[in-house]
Each structure stands twice: as structure tokens, then as C-alpha cells.
Amino acid sequence: MQFSEMRSRVQTLVGESSGDFYTTTEIEAEINDACVQISRDTEELLTFYDMTTAADTYRYTLPDDFLKIKRVDLIVTTTDTRQLEYKNLREYFEYTESAVDTTGTPYIYKVELGSVDKTDSHPGDIWVYPIPDDNGGSNYTLRVYYYQTPTTLVDDTDVTELPLLAHKAACFLAASNMALKGEDLRKHDRLLMLYENELNKIKMHYSRLQRQRPYDMKDEMGYTETEF
């Protein structure tokens, strides 16, 4: 569903198409916010990002569209890839407190979310230990698998990266928030219920196994049916 189609759908749901009260700018902002929330709630937008390490550097900035870590791999060579083990803050410092300056091949990581700079905001940082060496002069590659936030929709022909089944849900959620502007709590509650129902359908759909199996159970034990 294109951005213009989603906007029209939201206008229909709130009961206005003129834009006199529910403005286009407000509706577009709510649609983009809804897409981010659905990405968080469904965890379907899985991607990865490669970061080249630098010798004696243990902290690396996460991508701008980062939402949540799935896993982190360390690529040592083209034939040697290792999964790093996640540690929480306490566990990480238990590993490092007696030898904080140790360098070598990393095998654990932790994540710190949020920015420490108001002028150069970013989602957070990933810390690895031991502190990477230069890997024999070629450095390592951190391959970070993570759930991403969708790209902000701008043009009428833009299409969100969310699966097609989630587009209608985004419209319901955006419309429910728009209803609050008119203090129409009844409409807000109904639209929110429609969103939650749609979200449950999406989760159920993607949690099912692939239906590439026979409907009949194979008779592995050699039993046969007996007629009575």
C-alpha cells in the first residue's frame, strides 16, 4: 500500500477527507509512528549491518535504524565466522573487571542503548571483549543482525518495508491516535481494538510453520485401518 493510499485509508477511518480538521501533516506523522510501533511489536524487519573493527577499540555505534539486537557474529576470515555471546551489564563487567585492557579476538558483547550526545543522537553502542587486536593486519568484521525501524515515508508513492499484511494495521493505529485530537474516545477505542485484532492475526500468521506437508499422517508403524 502506497503512502497516499494509507493516508486516504486513515482519512476514511476518522470520517473526514477534506483535511480541515485532521490535517495531512498530522496523519502522515501518525502513519510513520504507527509503522515504527508495528515493527517493534512484530519483530519482522530483520536485517544485518557489517562494522569493521579497529585495533584497541571496544565500542561501536549501532545503525541509525536499530531497534533490537538478534545476534552478533564475528567474521575472522572468509572461512571463520563465530557467534559472539551476549552478556548483560553485570556479566560483562564480571568478565572484564580483572583484565580490562586485554586485547585479542572478541568472544562476548554487551549493548548500551541511548545517546550520550544531544547534537549527534544515535540508538546506542555495542561493546566487545576482549578489545579487538588488528587480526593480523586485516581487522575483524562485526556482523550485527538486528530488527530495524522502517524508513520514514515521505512521497506519495513510498511503500513501507513492513510486510503487506501490516499496512492495514498501521492505518488502524494511526486513525485511532488521530481520533484523540477530536476527543472521540469511542472511535479511538474501536480503532485501537481493530488494530490489536489485526496485530494478533499478523503474529499468528508469521508464527505458523510452512504448510509444505501432507495432510495425511504417514503409516510408519505398518498399522492398517480395521473396519468394524
- Tens-digit pLDDT profile for residues 93-102: 998 988 889 9
DSSP state, 129?
E
Domain boundary among 148, 165, 194: 148
Amino acid at the residue 72: V
Q: Using only C-alpha atoms, what is the Rg of the chain?
A: 24
Same domain, 58 and 81: yes
Number of domains in the chain: 2
67: pLDDT confidence band, cut at 50, 70 and 90? very high
Same domain, 82 and 139: yes
C-alpha closest to that of 109 among 53, 149, 67, 66: 53
Q: Which tens digit of pLDDT belongs to each residue from 148-184? A: 999 999 999 999 999 998 999 999 999 999 999 888 8
Same domain, 105 and 178: no
Query: Coil, helix or strand for 118?
Result: coil
Give a yes or no: residue 215 inside a domain: no
Same domain, 81 and 132: yes
Same domain, 177 and 188: yes
Give a yes or no: residue 37 inside a domain: no
Same domain, 80 and 160: no
Give a yes or no: residue 222 inside a domain: no
Domain that holds residue 80: 46-148
Same domain, 15 and 105: no
Give a yes or no: residue 226 inside a domain: no
Same domain, 61 and 136: yes
Task: Output the pTM of the full model.
Answer: 0.81
- C-alpha grid cell, residue 86: 551476549
